[in-house]
Amino acid sequence: MKTYREIQGGWGRGIRFTLIASVVMVMLVLQACGNNAGSGKEASSAAGGGTNTAEAAGGETAGNAPAVLSFGFIGSNKLNVPGGAEGWGFHKGIIQEELKKYGITEVKLTGFPNGPDQTESLISGRLDFGSLGDTPAIIAYASGAKTRLISQSSAHTVGYLIGKKDGPKTVKDLQGKTIAIQKGSFMHRYVVGLLQQEGVTGYKLVHMLIPDATAALARGDVDATTNLGVPALKLIDEGYTHLDDASKHPDLLGSSATVVSEEYLEKFPEFPKVWNAAREKALADLKQHEEEYYEFLAEIGDTTPELAKQVNPISDIKDTAFTEEGLKLLQGTKNFLVEEKLAKKDFNISDWQLQ
């Protein structure tokens, strides 16, 4: 028969064994849980769920997107932003927040007086991408610019042809007259197409930026000039003759073109998809704040919300990167520019377009 001490010693050894075994089991369970958690995180990142690209790559994105993105647009204003969904997105910070997810921490916006000036900056590498009229974008690509078309945010740009006071009263009165245009711009394409349709010949086109053209019109140095939007309506209100506008000629309407340099695409191949998604998010927000949007347009256009709504209705903004209407208009513009030898060579829009 065992003594009390022997029994007590056996209990002690049993308890120690049980404790050791328990500790080992707990450690094994914890290790298994840790491994499962790690596997789950990796699977989530690979599938694009839970962790965004920047987090999965430790702050670096697929495509190695540069931290600074340079964007060009047409026009200048105190807010230094364009109109449309892009401008609203930049103004409200929506686009910047979306781009930050991919490592882009700063967006530099630059306004240009016309499309040809912007394309020059894009070709030289001072810009990464930009939004401009279809005509200068097409002319640049046909001349060898290494760009890709990633969206058309609008397909209803209306150009106006305005005559001087006590000058021509109709388009046909421009026979043999002098017209101020911005060479290589949408309005250049509109006026040449209009005069061709009306059978007007013998006219002279002179290249002038809008402020210079407006001053020349006031002095009577030119017989007519082209203009856009609110500035055009202001001239008409001041007594200048409204000779024509592109709303009467659907085939002469302009569209916008957002293009990106091939050099930037090499650094960030996913940019078109990222940009269009950010823009669509900004547009969705814009539609929830329509009155505020028109007040925003009025501020950058130095006009009233009512006039801004008349000239740039939200319904003109496209909610997808490309539409059948926009591409048809783009094709017609390209064909015209090639026929008139304003574009150096012909090409397929599909070869330029990137979806």
Q: DSSP 3-state assignment of 163? A: strand
Residue 101 near residue 277, CB atoms below 8 Å = no
Written as six digits, the tokens of 264 are: 């930037």
Separation CA 226–CA 313 (nearest Å): 21
pLDDT digits (tens, 9 = 90+) for 173-197: 999 999 999 998 899 999 999 999 9
For the segment 119-132, the average pLDDT, to the nearest whole number, is: 96
Separation CA 289–CA 254 (nearest Å): 26
For the segment 129-151, the average pLDDT, to the nearest whole number, is: 97
Q: Is 70 exceeded by the pLDDT of residue 8?
A: no
Q: Is 70 exceeded by the pLDDT of residue 315?
A: yes
pLDDT digits (tens, 9 = 90+) for 203-246: 999 999 999 999 999 999 999 999 999 999 999 999 999 999 99
Confidence of residue 116 (pLDDT cuts 50, 70, 90): very high
Q: Is 80 exceeded by the pLDDT of residue 9?
A: no
Show Cβ contacts of residue 2 under 8 Å, excluding neighbours closer than 6 positions.
10
Q: How far, rounded to the nearest angstrom, does the alpha carbon of residue 170 sit from its chain's CA centroid?
A: 36
Predicted pLDDT at 207: 96
Predicted pLDDT at 12: 43
| 21 phi and psi angles, rounded to 5 deg | -60, -40
Confidence of residue 355 (pLDDT cuts 50, 70, 90): confident
Half-sphere exposure of 29 (CA within 13 A, CB side): 6
Q: For the chain, what are the domain ranges?
A: 68-156+254-352, 159-252
Separation CA 243–CA 338 (nearest Å): 27
Predicted pLDDT at 295: 98
Say which CATH superfamily domain 68-156+254-352 falls into: Periplasmic binding protein-like II (3.40.190.10)
pTM listed for this prediction: 0.79
For the segment 47-70, the average pLDDT, to the nearest whole number, is: 53
Domain 159-252 CATH class label? alpha beta
Dihedral angle over CA of 218, 254, 189, 133, nearest 10: 90
Predicted pLDDT at 322: 97
For the chain, the average pLDDT equals: 86
CATH fold match for the domains 68-156+254-352 and 159-252:
yes
**Hey, which residues does 226 pair with through a beta bridge?**
161
pLDDT digits (tens, 9 = 90+) for 143-160: 999 999 999 999 999 999
Give the C-alpha distances (Å, rounded to integers) separating 16 from 2, 5, 30, 257: 20, 17, 21, 77
Minimum mean pLDDT range among 19-28, 239-248, 272-281: 19-28
Residue with tokens 């910047």: 96
Q: Is 50 exceeded by the pLDDT of residue 23?
A: no
For the segment 321-338, the average pLDDT, to the nearest whole number, is: 95
> Angle, nearest 10°, between helix axes 134-142 and 324-339?
60
Residue with tokens 């006590």: 166
First to last CA, the chain: 90
Q: How far, rounded to the nearest angstrom, does the alpha carbon of residue 229 sit from its chain's CA centroid?
A: 19
Minimum mean pLDDT range among 32-46, 166-180, 331-345: 32-46
pLDDT digits (tens, 9 = 90+) for 93-108: 999 999 999 999 999 9
Give the C-alpha distances (Å, rounded to integers) separating 36 from 27, 33, 41: 14, 5, 9
Size (the chain), residues: 355
